Structure 1
Amino acid sequence: MANTEMLTALNEQIKHEYFSSYLYLSMSAYFADMGLSGFAHWMRMQAEEEMLHVNKMYDYVIARGGKIKLYAIDEPQAEWNSPLDVFNFGLDHERYVTGRINSLMDLALKTKDHAAHSFLQWFVNEQVEEEESFTDIINTLKLVQGDGRGLLLVDRELIARAAPSIASATTA
């Protein structure tokens, strides 16, 4: 059985991962309303990836003998000023999640929960990837500077994002 404090913190993180999925689904709807199907698809895949994170943590808590407690999720923002604004908001959110994951790692070290430390290392690496993905798109959007033709080209690029797979979420 894992450390009780760690299991409580992981249950709290599950709530934040659910919220992340909910937020990205809201962003997807925002883009769909704008007629940017590639942007909408990219965010929809991001929402699905967050659900894989939820399930990974959920399964870990159960495997370690913990009890799942599902907390209420806040309503996500639904309106932004531009596609660039959406991705800046997303990057800020990912940085927030990175801070939460880092705090979980600190707790694993403090409580000498080596299994949790090992488990959380995947999330540390995942957060590097998440922040990089948002930053790359932000940099592209800055180059486009709101030009409609440029946005359509980015939109066509983003629609190519593949669905996240369970295999990628379970790789340590």
Structure 2
Amino acid sequence: MDAVVKTISPRTSRAQNLMEAQVGNGLNASQQNLAFAVWFDQRDLPRLASYFYRQSLRKRDHAMRIVQYMIDNNVAVEVPGLQTVRNDFSDPRELIALAVEQERVVTDEVTTLSRVLREEEDYLGEQFMRWFLSEQVDEVAQMTTMLNVTDRSQGNMFDLEDYLKRDPVENERYESTAPRAAGGKLR
């Protein structure tokens, strides 16, 4: 009996290369959020730490959703190496401002990838990316709100801890329509 061997195709399009790059971007964002979480945890701010630990897992899951999509489409995936993350911050506002900027960069990356998929007439890939576009609207809005609350607190992080206790910043709105993550979700 002849064994059937699955054929894995090399990446042949700009969009496929951008998808792989987005895997690396997502894993880097996950690591940066982990660094944010540890920074808050070391300063006895458990709600902020918990929020960023969850964000770290979310960003990892986003990367693994793209990996699964590429696997499902028999496209070769190479997991990129991680970049160095920033661990030192002068105050919490600096950290949260970086988190806002990180979300804006991710939004730009996802938008570019979606545009290239459309240009290449990859309609399945374009449909796949719609979830990420919606997700990023919420991610930027949540982090911007957190930065605004930080500014109003005038440096009192316990105000931000109270805000997270009263109005937990969760983003489960799109989970039921989320693409599958390779290896399964960790949270």
Question: TM-score surpassing 0.5?
Answer: yes
The 1-side partners of 2:126 and 2:12 are apart by 12
Aligned sequence identity (%)? 18
Query: Hey, what does 1:92 align to over in structure 2?
Result: 101
User: Shift of residue 150 of structure 1?
Assistant: 2.3
Query: Hey, what does 1:9 align to over in structure 2?
Result: 18
The 2-side partners of 1:80 and 1:116 are apart by 38
Structure 2: stretches of 5+ with no match in the other structure: 1-8, 181-187
The 2-side partners of 1:52 and 1:76 are apart by 18
Residues 15, 117 of structure 2: 8 Å contact kept: yes
Q: Which has the higher contact order (CA 8 A, sep 6+)?
A: 1
CA change 1:151–1:4 in 2 (3 A) is: closer
Cα deviation code 1:69-98 (max 9, x no counterpart): 111111110011222211110010111111
Which of residues 49, 71, 85 is equivalent to 1:62?
A: 71
Aligned length, in residue pairs: 170
The two structures have a TM-score, normalised by structure 1, of 0.88
The two structures have a TM-score, normalised by structure 2, of 0.82
Structure 1: stretches of 5+ with no match in the other structure: none
Residues 53, 169 of structure 1: 8 Å contact kept: no
Q: How does 1:18-29 map to 2 (within 5 A)?
A: 18-29=27-38
Q: Secondary structure at the match of 2:80?
A: coil
Correspondence 1:47 to 2:56: yes
The 1-side partners of 2:96 and 2:62 are apart by 20
Query: Hey, what does 2:148 align to over in structure 1?
Result: 139
Cα deviation code 1:33-83 (max 9, x no counterpart): 111111000000000111110111010001111011111111110011222
Q: Alpha carbon RMSD of aligned pairs, Å?
A: 2.4
